[in-house]
Amino acid sequence: MWDLHVQNIVASTQLSDGFDLNKIMEGLPDSKYDPHTFPGLVYRVKDPKTSVLLFRSGKAVFTGSTDLKMLEASVAKVLSDLKAIGQDVYDNPKTEIQNMVSSADLGSEVNLNTTAITLGLEKVEYEPEQFPGLVYRISDPKVVILLFGSGKIVIAGAKRLEEAGRAVDNLAEELRSAGLLP
């Protein structure tokens, strides 16, 4: 029902038994590795435009994909690039989504002061002097929703788009039943 737009997918996988990050940095020009500031190597993939963190353990964290096909293409590109510079990698690593950030629009403005009280102060953070949105933490599905007075929302913490949709349904139903949303 909601027009959800995926903004970012964060996924993790095991690409190898282990990596020589110094060798990878030398072989991949779009990579950066400074073990004094961060234990992982940052590799910026140009096509599809994503980033990956590679760790000595062989683990990797992918960010920046906006759909599953883009994520798969990014993993395939990184595997290909790593093979090309002589790194041993797995053929078909299992990728697990850790977080999906999406956005939607409730289609109506929302009074955030009234909403904060209605949704329950134990699940809501709302300090308009610090941040213009209301932070709403729900447990089923376990996500965080940022709700803005314009009715626009950001959903973080879902692992599947269906979870994000269910979270929006739950929020909209709570707001409708309280008379805060048409």
Residue 47's Cβ-count burial label (10 Å; 0-12, 13-18, 19+) is exposed
Which among 68, 97, 126 is the end of a domain? 97
User: In this structure, what are the phi and psi dihedrals at residue 125, rounded to the nearest 5 degrees?
Assistant: -120, 125
The confidence score (pLDDT) of residue 120 equals: 86
Instruction: Say yes or no: 18 and 86 in one domain.
Output: yes
Tell me the pTM. 0.89
Instruction: Say yes or no: 132 and 168 in one domain.
Output: yes
Instruction: Say yes or no: 82 and 41 in one domain.
Output: yes
Q: Are 158 and 164 in contact (CB under 8 A)?
A: yes
Mean pLDDT by 10 residues, the chain (182 residues): 91 97 95 96 96 98 97 97 96 96 96 92 93 94 96 96 95 92 88
CATH number at residue 20: 3.30.310.10
The confidence score (pLDDT) of residue 1 equals: 63
- Coil vs helix vs strand at 171: helix
CA 143 – CA 140 distance, rounded (Å): 8
The confidence score (pLDDT) of residue 2 equals: 82
Which among 64, 97, 130 is the end of a domain? 97
Instruction: Say yes or no: 28 and 69 in one domain.
Output: yes
Instruction: Say yes or no: 134 and 83 in one domain.
Output: no
CA 126 – CA 132 distance, rounded (Å): 8
